[in-house]
Amino acid sequence: MTMTTEQAAWFADTFEKLVANVGQAVLGKEHVIRLTFTAMLAEGHVLFEDAPGTGKTSLARALAATVQGSNNRIQFTPDLLPSDVTGVTIYDQKTQKFEFHKGPIFNNIVLADEINRASPKTQSALLEVMEESRVTVDGVTYSAGRPFMVMATQNPIEQAGTYRLPEAQLDRFLIKTSIGYPDHASTVRLLAGSNVKDRSKELPAVITTQAVADMADLAATAHVDTAVLEYISRLCEETRSAPETRLGVSVRGALAMVRAAKVWAASQGRNFVLPDDIKELAPVVWTHRFVMDPEAEFSGATAEAVLTRILADVAAPQQRTNA
């Protein structure tokens, strides 16, 4: 069943309230907040490549407060073990049974801080839960619940003692973006309220976690015309055949675009996806999935430039098709 125009209008109104609420704690970053909520409602995850002190923890807390969800922060370090993330099974001598003690991954919003500082083995502990929202420990599977979103961070400058995220893990992030420093006016507002250490504590809840799950289910019913699907497929094929890339956008990346575009369209009050939605989301949904050719990269080629050229070369469908 396709989303109705009335449902799309309700979705857009609720989405605006969510963004405005978080915007009270994270000043001057409306676009980033929109992208983060888009990832949440598309049931995906976000990778922030940012310098320290730009408000990533505040954003995670504000999101959790807005949807009445739980949140936790995991500081990734070289000595972090997979069980420190997922949890561990411990034998209880009183009951003479093994009991599973859940790790910090069992929260609605999990901030994986400096994820590239942990070993590849610990990073891989996130693969199953990010893809399937469940964790398997000692042969027993535990659900992570809904909503569930990993917000991972990595410092783009300081690379000493880090482990580069493998392509398989990067592919599991729906969106890669950065918060960046606030503008002058927002900085002045932050400084004026320096006595408030955590603005997220003052935020009222807008909806419940169950309502977030319902919104995600509703967004999934937005209509995507066959012409738009063919457009997405052609773009993906071009990223794979581009001379500057060794690997382009995978099928997982194409599916991620469809899910994200449905939420993006619904957030604007439409029950159908336009080619413009694909163009707007492509830089944050696709560029981190490229594996560039080393020689081309040495010559100055970037994933962003390759994608820009492909978007210009591949003709978008002209019709405006609704359900």
Listed as ranges, residues in the chain with pLDDT below 50 are 321
Spatial CA neighbour of 118 closest among 129, 126, 109, 110? 126
Rounded to an integer, what distance in angstroms lies between the CA atom of residue 78 and that of residue 80? 6
CATH code, residues 28-193+200-205: 3.40.50.300
pTM listed for this prediction:
0.90
pLDDT given for residue 183 in this prediction: 86
3-class state of residue 127 by DSSP: helix
Overall residue count recorded for the chain in this entry: 323
Mean pLDDT (the chain, rounded): 89
247 sits in the region (left: phi over 0; alpha: psi -120 to 50; else beta) called beta
Residue pair 236/282 in contact (Cβ under 8 Å)? The answer is no
pLDDT given for residue 169 in this prediction: 79
pLDDT given for residue 62 in this prediction: 93
In sequence order, what are the beta bridge partners of 247? 291
3-class state of residue 313 by DSSP: helix
pLDDT given for residue 118 in this prediction: 84
Both structure tokens of 231: 């457009």
Residue 320 CA neighbour count, 13 Å, CB half: 4
Residue pair 74/125 in contact (Cβ under 8 Å)? The answer is no
What residues does each domain of the chain span?
A: 28-193+200-205
pLDDT given for residue 166 in this prediction: 73
pLDDT given for residue 157 in this prediction: 65
